[in-house]
Structure 1
Amino acid sequence: MPTTTDITSRAGRAGKVVLGAGVVVAVLLGVLVVARPTTVSTGPDQVALHYSDGAFTPRRFQDCVSSSSRTWDGPGDKHYAYPSSQRNYVFGEMGDREPVTFVSKDGIEMSVDGVAAFLLNTDCETLRKFHDLIGNRYAAYMDSADGNGSAGWLSMLSVYISRPLETAIDRASQNYTYTELYTDPNVKAQWEQDVLEQMPDLVGRQIDGDEEFFTNFAITLQKPVPPESVKAALVAQQEAVARAKAKEAEAAAQVKAAQAQVEVERAEAAKIAERIKVLGRDGYLKQYAIDKGLNPYQPTTSGLITGP
């Protein structure tokens, strides 16, 4: 018959077995969690970069993931999505930043709303360099598959797009007065083109090396606005010019009317002269009186008999 000591010893060994099995199960579960593969699913306007980053692998670039794709990669690997479609950087009310202010050729401070459109260069090697140099530093990669950018994306654009845009607008504005920019649509269109032509070079200066991380720029600028006091003065000036032009037009119309009247009177005088030639002076006067309803043949006393 087993003694109490034997029973206790057996129970201890069984407990150790159970404990050991539990530890093994826990370790296996931990390994499964750690070893679980990673996945990425890109949208139709996204691409992604794949980096190895597991517990036993160095962090190293692996490959690019094209748009509208789903891939499964090693445990611990990282994926960074970036936009492959046109991006818009809006400046102005409800935009990505406040309006851009600048100074015109004649020293008037103005502000303008608008949109700077561009493409991120998603060539695989170029995008990898962008991520390593810029995107990873600002966490500028997309944080979802719905096409929305991250806070880091906007932070990055405030340096690499916003500052060059300010410089381009300020430089282009030195060629035009505020009245030209505010009132002349042809000048405004040329000013917009001047800004666009400067953007690639100014953006490139922000980047180390010769890589073109941003391409296909397009600029749309709204009508620039001067301060309210200047705008009021300009409106008053325009109203005064309009009134002066109206007076000039009225005076010109009066001159033309007077000239027309003179021509009418000249024609009438020529007509009278011709009638006098035909009827004689007395005949014309008699005919004139008749035409006016008068009787040119008034009675006289020369025909009366006055003698006894």
Structure 2
Amino acid sequence: MRVLPRMGRGGAVLTALLLLVLGLPALIGLLGGFERTDGGQIAVVRNGGFFDNTRIRQVIDPGSGRVWVGWWSKVHKYPAQQRFYTITSNLGESTRGGGGVDVVTVPSSDGVNMGIEGTLYFTLNLDHEVLKKFDDKFGTRKFRSSSGHSYYAWQDEGGWSAFLNQIVRPVIDNNLRSQINSFRCAELVSSCALVQNTGSNGRRQTTSIQAQSNNGNIAKVQNAINVQLANDLRATLGGDFLTNIHFNLVRVTLPAQVQQAVDRAQAAFAQVTEAQARVDQAKLEAAANKARQDGYNRCPTCAEIEKLKALPQGITVYAPGNPSGALFPRD
């Protein structure tokens, strides 16, 4: 009977190292070969093994159970629910991030820069074939965020926001610029008429633009944006990757310098109105006095009667001919 030689200590260590090097990746690949999605996620799975290609393997629908996705595959998870992109001057609430305010500044047709705030609502197209094309085009490259870091679009909220800021935001800005440029400032912000309808003599001039509610014009802008934005996003992205697109125009504001001019104009018009009221009152009082005096001239007796009515109470004798104009009170 042949006896095999006992393995030395060095051989045992080498064997352990081989098992560790070969077994650990296999164990990691096995444990990582199962994946699932939450209710608000959809996932695109790409091959990623040592000897495999990187093509798309499958798509996992939202709220799935744990499924086998293959050894060392890469899973790109995207939002499956309605999302939004917010442009706002409220500190720290914009999708662009960075902790500051975010307002799109575009000129009106008469050259006034106007601040636009609003929110774009949309949903990622969940059709498997469309989503695969989206991942091929946008899931395999990185996008720079406002903080300067680069992320994949599927890389949590930071990556999704970076994708929106770099790809979708320019389309929104262009649409807002195109639509706002077809309206005059006063057609969107009533108070703009206060500084535009003023002539060199300081008086308001009558124009076809009235300072009134502009909700109708804002609705026109919003509707036009919704129609054009869907077309532009399709053309820019190269497919119907975003659906249920709706832009809600929240606020249109004036630049600080223009708003200050509006405030000054409002104060000036208030002072003019007050002064005009005093002038009108004086004219009315003068007209009333003239009419009263004309009546007294035609009826001297009436004038005397009015004088007697005006005497203080308690006076019994009135001597208009007395040089001292004496009034004799009651005893």
Structure 1 residue 205 and structure 2 residue 212: aligned?
A: no
Structure 1 residue 99 and structure 2 residue 106: aligned?
A: no
1:186-205 to 2 correspondences below 5 Å:
186=214, 187-205=217-235
Greater displacement, 196-205 / 180-189: 180-189
Tell me what 1:140 maps to. 153
Contact preservation (8 Å) 1:52, 1:76: yes
Structure 2 Cα separation of the partners of residues 288 and 229 of structure 1: 59
Question: What is the DSSP-based 3-state SS (H/G/I as helix, E as strand, rest coil) of the residue aligned with 2:252?
Answer: coil
Tell me what 1:163 maps to. 170
Structure 1 Cα separation of the partners of residues 307 and 42 of structure 2: 103
Compared CA separation, residues 245 and 192, structure 1 to 2 (3 A): farther
Gaps of 5+ in 2: 97-101, 143-151, 192-212, 319-331
Structure 1 Cα separation of the partners of residues 178 and 308 of structure 2: 83
1:279-290 to 2 correspondences below 5 Å:
none
* Deviation for aligned residue 1:30: 4.4
* Deviation for aligned residue 1:82: 0.7
Gaps of 5+ in 1: 1-9, 144-148, 274-280, 296-308
**Residue deviations 1:59-97, cap 9 Å, x none?**
232322222223232221121111122212122432233
Higher helix share: 1
* Deviation for aligned residue 1:230: 2.0
Amino acid at match of 2:234: G
User: What TM-score, normalized to structure 1?
Assistant: 0.68
**Residue deviations 1:219-265, cap 9 Å, x none?**
23323221x222221222223333444455666677788899999x8
Structure 1 Cα separation of the partners of residues 224 and 266 of structure 2: 27
**Residue deviations 1:135-169, cap 9 Å, x none?**
322310143xxxxx123x22221233211111111
Contact preservation (8 Å) 2:76, 2:154: yes
Contact preservation (8 Å) 1:160, 1:203: no
Contact preservation (8 Å) 2:123, 2:244: yes
Q: How many residues align?
A: 270
Amino acid at match of 1:78: K
1:1-308 to 2 correspondences below 5 Å:
13-15=5-7, 19=12, 22=16, 25-26=19-20, 27-73=22-68, 74-91=70-87, 92=89, 93-94=91-92, 95-97=94-96, 98-138=102-142, 139-143=152-156, 149-151=157-159, 153-183=160-190, 185-186=213-214, 187-209=217-239, 211-226=240-255, 228-247=256-275
Greater displacement, 162-171 / 42-51: 42-51
Compared CA separation, residues 14 and 33, structure 1 to 2 (3 A): farther
Contact preservation (8 Å) 1:37, 1:72: no
**Residue deviations 1:161-193, cap 9 Å, x none?**
211111111111212233433336424443333
Structure 1 Cα separation of the partners of residues 60 and 184 of structure 2: 50
Cα RMSD for the two superposed structures: 4.0
Structure 2 Cα separation of the partners of residues 192 and 82 of structure 1: 28
Amino acid at match of 2:154: Y
Structure 2 Cα separation of the partners of residues 109 and 289 of structure 1: 67
User: What TM-score, normalized to structure 2?
Assistant: 0.64
Structure 1 Cα separation of the partners of residues 36 and 66 of structure 2: 7
Structure 2 Cα separation of the partners of residues 223 and 191 of structure 1: 11
Amino acid at match of 1:150: G
Compared CA separation, residues 169 and 21, structure 1 to 2 (3 A): closer
Bigger-Rg structure (1/2)? 1
* Deviation for aligned residue 1:57: 3.3
Compared CA separation, residues 261 and 61, structure 1 to 2 (3 A): farther
Question: What is the DSSP-based 3-state SS (H/G/I as helix, E as strand, rest coil) of the residue aligned with 1:131?
Answer: helix
Greater displacement, 54-63 / 199-208: 54-63
Compared CA separation, residues 233 and 33, structure 1 to 2 (3 A): closer
Amino acid at match of 1:176: F
Structure 2 Cα separation of the partners of residues 101 and 242 of structure 1: 30
